[in-house]
Amino acid sequence: MLDALGRRLRFAPPQPKGDFIRISDRDIGCFEAINRHGPLPVHYLHQYANGSLVTLKRKVSRLTHGTTYDAPYLYRPEQQWASIDGKFQANIYDLSPRALAVLAERGARLTSRTDPFLHRFMGATVNASIDIAATRGGYVYADLARLLTHEKCPDATRKVPNPLAIPTSGKSVVPDAIFGLQKERPSFFAVEIDRRTESICSDTAKTAFGRKLYGYLDILENRTYRAHLGIPNLTVLTVTTNALHLQSMLNFYHSLNAPKYARHFLFKTVSGFTANWRVPPVMLDLFNEPWIAADGSQVQIG
């Protein structure tokens, strides 16, 4: 299905044409970025691929439609059209089985998340933004897959079905992501993405944010991060959608009477992820500007 100018229609199913697709190192960089973080728009992928953005857009289009001989390597999740602005903003891309097979052949650890699309996309843009900004600043960014290959990571953790799940004295805490940054000394972070779909404190809500805070305090007190991943420290980064909800989170933390660990809990807001959400630009401020600690101080993660 083509328009009057012979162009593929944006919202139609894949329309293959042409011959074989040559997969370049640039393409692999894009596949790895999506596997590392989650579904991403092309202006994020451009940060992982040298060269022209226009050329990348053309290649991403080929990778999404496939050819007579090649199945698509990428796909555009349909959930992105649900936003009121969905048809007027940058396309979002995820990996097809063909791209996952390419990464598996190269020995990559494949990620598998079942989060709702918008939660996963918000997490992907948050983590990719930190990755991009930190790398520009001369830091080494290490995602969970890289941490699992480190000699200090216990073999038992590498073998569990979900290495993200950190044991506590109660139920395990499962962050949305874990990563490390290193320039001189290494720092490690768990990431929590909050779109105000969880209660802050509830005796019944299984996803209550307050319950996770208790779990993280247990992890910090017992230094479980050392036994689980072999890392020497852990800071929890929470990203939510507005300042009012952030203040409610800070108020709840103050009610826990845990000043000892206040600077281990950092908070920030990003706009554009409410019901009428938008594809954001690369959010370099997540690394370049301070976060708010639970004690109200300003803390830089780099």
Domain locations in the chain as residue ranges: 25-105, 125-299
Mean pLDDT calculated for residue range 114-128: 93
**C-beta separation of 93 from 59 below 8 A:** no
Whole-angstrom Cα distance, residue 143 to residue 123? 13
What pLDDT is stored for residue 5 in this prediction? 55
Mean pLDDT calculated for residue range 214-235: 97
**Number of C-beta neighbours around residue 70 at 10 A:** 18
What order of strands is seen across the sheet that includes strand 40-41?
40-41, 92-95, 74-75
Mean pLDDT calculated for residue range 149-166: 95
Whole-angstrom Cα distance, residue 127 to residue 54? 24
Helix (H), strand (E), coil (C) string for 125-137: HHHHHHHHHHHHC
Share of the chain above pLDDT 70, in %: 92
pTM equals 0.92
pLDDT-derived band at 170 (thresholds 50, 70, 90) equals confident
Mean pLDDT calculated for residue range 204-226: 86
> Residue 299: which H helix or E strand, with range?
strand 298-299
Query: Per residue in 33-59, pLDDT tens?
Result: 999 999 999 999 999 988 899 999 999
Is 3 a residue whose pLDDT tops 60?
no
Which of these ranges, 79-83, 90-94, 223-227, 248-252, has the smallest mean pLDDT?
79-83
Fold of the 25-105 domain? Arc Repressor Mutant, subunit A (1.10.10)
What pLDDT is stored for residue 70 in this prediction? 85
What pLDDT is stored for residue 167 in this prediction? 95
pLDDT-derived band at 203 (thresholds 50, 70, 90) equals low
For the chain, what is the mean pLDDT? 90
What pLDDT is stored for residue 205 in this prediction? 53
